[in-house]
Structure formats: C-alpha cells, structure tokens
Amino acid sequence: MAEVDPNLIERINRLRVETPSWGYGNSGTRFKVFAQPGAAQTVEEKIADAGLVQKLTGICPTVALHIPWDRASDWDHLKRLASSHGVAIGAINPNLFQDDDYRLGSFCNPSAAIRRRAVEHVLECIDIARETGSTTISLWLADGTNYPGQDDLRARGRRLRECMGEVYRALPPGLRLLVEYKFFEPGFYSTDLPDWGTALEICIELGPQAHVLVDTGHHAQGVNVEQIVAHLIERGRLGGFHFNDRNYADDDLIVGSADPFQLFLIFNEIVAADQDAGQVAFMIDQSHNIEPKIEAMVQSVINVQVAHAKALLVDRPQLKAAQESGDVLGAQRVLTDAYETDVRPLLAAARSALGLDPDPIAALRRSGYVERVAKQRGLASAESGYPEA
C-alpha cells in the first residue's frame, strides 16, 4: 500500500462508536429469542464483552446502559468495573415501553398516575447519569395508538410536552437529552414522536440541551435519511445516531449490511460539516438475533469505520467545483469514486497505528474469548419477544 497520510489516519482513529449493553445479551424478535451459549446475562458480563470490543477496535470506549435491565446496586463499583475493562458508562436509556402500565403509553398515557411513574423513571435515569459520569440520556417513547378515536391526539401531544418539559428542567449542565423518533410500531395508527420534524420541534421548545437522535432503521422505505441528517446539522440539533440497517422497517440488522451506500452518504454529510469530532454520538442499536453477539458487534463497528473512512476520502474541492458549475454527473462521480475505494488497507494501517491487530474479527476468533465465556456462563434462558430499544 502507498504511504498513508498520517493526518488521515488520525482522523480515522478519532471516530468513537458506543456499543449497547443489550447487544451482548440474548435478543430476537417479538416471535422468538434464540438463546446463545455465552451470551451476557448480567450487566457485569455485558461490560466485559464491551471491553473486549474496545480492545479489538480501539474506538469503542463507552457502553450504553438500559434501565432497569442494567440497574446496579452500587454505581461506583460498576464504574470501577467498567474502567478495569477499558471502558466507561455511556448513554443511559430509560425503559418506558415494557411494563404493563405502559400499554396505552408513558408520557402520553391518559392516566396521570402512569405519566407520573414514567417521569419519575426518567428522573431516576438522570440521577444514574450523574452517578456514572454519563453525558447522555437517550429517550425513545413507544407511545402511540392502534385505532382511530382511541385517544385524543392533541391531548396526547400536550401530555408529551408537559412530561418532556419536567424531564428537561431536571437535566444538570453537561447532560444532553437525545430525543428519538419512530414512524410506527408498536402503535400502528399513530405514533406520538413519529418523525424528525416532531422531534426537532420538541427539542427547540425544550432548550439547547435537547437534540434529535436518528435511528437509521426508523424510517419508511425510500426516506432520504442523509437529507434529514443535513437538516439537523444545519440547525445544530443533530445529537447522535442509533446505527442499524433494514430492508423493510425496523429490522435491526447490522449497520451497513442492507444499504452501505446510504451509510456512506450519511457520513458524507457529517464529514462535510466537520461534525465528526465529538459533537455527534455514534451509537450501535441492533438486535443480534441469530448472529454471534460479539462478532456481530465488531462487524458493526467495522462497517461504521468503512463508511466513515470513505467519507473522509471525498475530494471536497473537486465536489464543490462540480456542484457550483452544475456538473451533475461529475459531482456524483466524486462521491462514487470515494465510495468505491477499498479502504480495508487504510483501516488496517489505522488499527496498526493504535497497536491493534489490523483484522479485529480474526483477532476475536483467535482469542478464544467466545468459547471461554460460553463454558463459564452457559446458556441463559430466553423468553419469547424482543423489547425494542
């Protein structure tokens, strides 16, 4: 390989990707969860697996927690444990969709008592963020309705804003609220946070610590996600991503496995706006149903690195010149030239610069870690159904 620009290597290695605790445990669909030997069963085991992914990739220094799935009795101890594995606690994700009380919604529920319970849970998560040193509350609401007339849609909007306002006012300085949207499921008639525009409107109303979270699987077929990203960057409200991929709707596939070109175009917007230096939270959120958990996570991180590296290779001056001169196909070729570049040697060099094995998948398979924890942990029981995060 030709000599590599050290500045390019530095920019590649500047990327940070957060892995989710729930990606290391048994997960699946609402029809079936297929248990895997060695899948993490406790928050401590999830953190250990996240530590291995960080050791293999060098760019995954934080692990997101989901509460109550990952609730701990001693948060200081959990912080120290994470540090011993080379990671820190990342985004705190409240769970407002799993309990029976939330059958008709959480923040938008007709019951004031249930809305109170939902708010108190998010306030607890803010306290957990303080104790763990997290800088992010990542909030997704499953709230919606299944039938016309089931509830007053305008009243649901008012309840949503009231509860969101109380949560926002409790945020300490330095803690961001990332508001996630989803156009359907589990509500099939209406969703209370259905799109980026609604999420953006709420974030602007709340204040500067509220930003929009883009889940790449939460869009209808044909939606131009990179244009949404561009709009949010322009308004200073792009908070981060939950990376996954989909063929149909919220399939929760490995990011870049179904539409790698779209992932590249998303990163093209981010790199073009110089938003790749810590302003945006890049987080994995996938359901590794039949794939090996840790290997799937490493592959997800690699796919993100590939898209990011290709975006860094776009010839920006040439692209701008083509755009300004109206050279439609010339501009498009600038992008495809970068996209079609094989960046695997470049990423291998970037990993070597960090003192890592240039092939993290091969390193994982050689390590014997998966076989070892399978013997230690055994096979956890898996219940039917996957609680979407």
pLDDT digits over 39-70, tens only? 999 999 999 999 999 999 999 999 999 999 99
Buried b / exposed e across 67-78, counting CB within 10 Å, b at 16+? bebbebeebeeb
pLDDT digits over 278-331, tens only? 589 999 999 888 999 999 999 999 999 999 999 999 999 999 999 999 999 999
Could you check whether the bond before residue 68 is cis, i.e. omega within 30 degrees of 0? yes
Residue extents of the structural domains in the chain: 15-312+343-377
Model confidence at 250: pLDDT above 50: yes
Specify the 3-state DSSP secondary structure of 342. Answer: coil
Look up the pTM and report it.
Answer: 0.95
Asked which of 11-20, 267-276, 332-341 is least confident by mean pLDDT, the reply is 267-276
Confidence (pLDDT) at 27: 83
**Tokens in use for 306?**
């590939």
| Whole-number Å distance between alpha carbons of 17 and 56 | 13
Average pLDDT for residues 338-365, to the nearest whole number?
A: 98
Half-sphere CA count of 106, side-chain side, radius 13 A: 21
pLDDT digits over 177-199, tens only? 999 999 999 999 999 999 999 99
15: left (phi over 0), alpha (psi -120 to 50) or beta: beta
**Tokens in use for 218?**
């939460």
Number of CB atoms found within 10 A of residue 116's CB: 13
Report how far apart, in Å, the C-alpha atoms of 211 and of each of 70, 177, 198 are: 24, 6, 12
Question: Does the domain formed by 15-312+343-377 have CATH 3.20.20.150?
Answer: yes
| Whole-number Å distance between alpha carbons of 41 and 26 | 8
| Whole-number Å distance between alpha carbons of 36 and 25 | 9
* CB within 8 Å of 282: residues ≥ 6 apart: 15, 16, 17, 18, 240, 241, 243, 304
Confidence (pLDDT) at 386: 42
DSSP 92-137: EEE--SSSGGGGG-STT-S-HHHHHHHHHHHHHHHHHHHHHT--EE
| Whole-number Å distance between alpha carbons of 210 and 88 | 22
| Whole-number Å distance between alpha carbons of 278 and 284 | 16
Confidence band for 210, pLDDT divided at 50, 70 and 90: very high
| Whole-number Å distance between alpha carbons of 222 and 253 | 17
DSSP 206-246: H-TTEEEEEETTSS-TT--HHHHHHHHHHTT-EEEEEE-B-
Confidence band for 3, pLDDT divided at 50, 70 and 90: confident
CA 147, 148, 149, 152 dihedral sign is positive
